[in-house]
Amino acid sequence: MCDLTESSSESTPKDGLTPSSSFEAKVNSLLNSGMTTESLRKKAEEYLAILNDPAFEADNIPLWVERISCRGQEGLTITKVFHAMYTGATQVGFPAGSRYAYAATCTCGGLAQTEATLEERKTRLVKELVNLAETWIAYFLWPFRWSSMAALEVPTPSLSATPTYDDTGSELEEGPQTRPSWRDDVSKTTLIHHCLNTLIPLFNFRCFMTGYVDFQADEWPQNSPLDTLHVAHIVKFSSTNFDAATSSTSEIHSITMTLDILKHYVDLDSQTINNLKEILSSPRNALLLQSGMHNTFDRFMWCLISTNVPGQYKVKLFVEPSTLFNVSLPDVVTFEDHSNSGIPLPSPLLLRWHAALAHVFHLSGAAGLFKDLRDLPGHFGPAVPSKSGYAFMEHVIKYDGTAITKHAELVGAVEAMVLSESQVY
């Protein structure tokens, strides 16, 4: 374990935790230091080892996690969140993301040194580690998972699956009239995929995962399965969007936190962040998929990992193939443009972004935890009222009641009051 025997002279915050702005500055200082990533990794692992101490075993599974999940069920732990952040970025080609996660962990260790005694330093370290993991869960993971919860199934295939704020009911500012052209552009991007040992040439209007051909295609191979295909976001626009004129202070704080983490973890430079709306609103942020594959992609049940071959991706499944679809799925897909009009292929950056999230979701145990929050018990809709990290913090992490979330408790209280009034009459 990292040496916590010596303290520094820096004062301790009143609530025992460091404000996010101060924490961010310290992380940036480490990132810009001369420390190698390997040195940061070793130091981070030493600090994280404190959660293996029996004295802090309960901190590794916070009460809010136990409240949501079945006791004894293997699921999310604070340690798993850190390891997921460490390895998820590296596995999909974001080494800067792993360096950020190591630096953030080491920042927790550095802050613990400000305490006077060894026991106080240990306690402070655990508090900072838990707070960091919960911040990642609330502000980095939750907004993207919530955005796929409101409408997991499309009842009838239609253009409603094209890029919109489909989980908030808002249209892109460009207006719905832009949607058909988006669908047409993506449909013209032909994909060729390798399925097992067979190279199957695909053409326009085909789902590259299932081989399904869209009804609107001019031609298709004999006996090909047909369906109305959907344009799926690679990264949900609504997850990172807000209107400064109408958003509350907490919403603005939430999106700022989300973007700060994204900036480091998926290595977004300032130009990309400034152009994020245009990037996420373009056909490069879209895939043409059969509805079942669309839904499971939104839920991070599979992802695409880039290879050394331009436009080629390995398909990684996080569930059994039979869970996704009843057809053989490819091991590798290769995107090619056969439109003869130079339509850009799906963005490698956005596909890595989605893949990084998918890895952290599943390696940390958050995928299962969020599944339990998908529906308000006995009602329709998520058990947390919005996509913001602030909402997750207030309704899940900071809530100390007995219901699954604070939102669930409030809904239950209102229903009880309505029922009581109806019985009076």
**Pair 324, 317: CB distance under 8 Å:** yes
Lowest mean pLDDT among 5-19, 312-326, 335-349: 5-19
Under 8 Å CB-to-CB from 136, ≥6 apart: which residues? 81, 85, 261, 360
Q: Tell me which of 408 and 329 has the higher pLDDT.
A: 329
Separation CA 205–CA 317 (nearest Å): 23
**Residue-level pLDDT at 266:** 94
From residue 66, give the alpha-carbon distance in Å to each of 19, 71, 143, 381, 391.
26, 6, 21, 22, 19
The three-point CA angle 412-414-420 to 5° equals 100
Q: CA-CA distance, 104 to 204, in Å (whole number)?
A: 45
In this structure, the chain runs to a length of 425
Q: What is the pLDDT of residues 195-240, one digit of tens each?
A: 222 222 333 578 889 888 877 766 666 777 787 777 788 998 665 5
CB 163 within 8 A of CB 172: yes
Report d(CA 331, CA 193) in Å as an integer: 8
Higher-confidence residue of 108 and 19: namely 108
Q: Decide if 360 contacts 318 (C-beta within 8 A).
A: no
Rounded-to-integer distance, Cα 212 and Cα 228, Å: 9
Mention every residue, 6+ apart, whose C-beta is less than 8 A from residue 385. 391, 395, 407
pLDDT number for residue 404: 82
Tokens found for residue 231: 């344009």
Beta bridge partners of 304: 315
Cα–Cα distance, 53 to 60 (Å, whole number)? 10
Residue 354 CB partners (closer than 8 Å, separation 6+) = 234, 235, 297, 300, 303, 304
Write down the mean pLDDT value for the chain: 77
Convert the pLDDT of each residue in 306-320 to its tens digit.
Answer: 999 999 999 999 988
Most confident residue range from 227-241, 291-305, 403-417? 291-305
Return the H-helix or E-strand segment holding 213. strand 213-214
Instruction: Measure the CA dihedral 238/239/240/241, to 10°.
Output: 30
Helices (H), 147-248: 179-187
Average pLDDT over residues 337-353: 82
Of 359, 366, 391, give the one whose Cα is nearest residue 68: 366
> How buried is 36 (Cβ within 10 angstroms: 0-12 exposed, 13-18 middle, 19+ buried)?
exposed
Record the tokens describing residue 314, joined without a space.
């390995």
The residue among 346 and 307 whose pLDDT is bigger is 307
- Which CA distances in Å does 247 have to 164, 166, 208, 305? 19, 18, 38, 35
Q: Under a CB-based contact definition with an 8 Å cutoff, are residues 280 and 230 in contact?
A: no
> Dihedrals φ, ψ of 127, to 5°?
-60, -45
CA dihedral 72, 78, 83, 84 (to 10 degrees): 80
72-127 residue pLDDT tens: 456 899 999 999 999 999 999 999 999 999 999 999 999 999 898 999 999 999 99
What is the full DSSP assignment across 300-341? TSEEEEE-SSTTEEEEEESS-HHHH-SSPPPSEEEE---SSS
pLDDT at 221: 66
Q: How far apart are alpha carbons 387 and 238 in whole angstroms?
A: 9
Residue 117 token pair: 């005694």
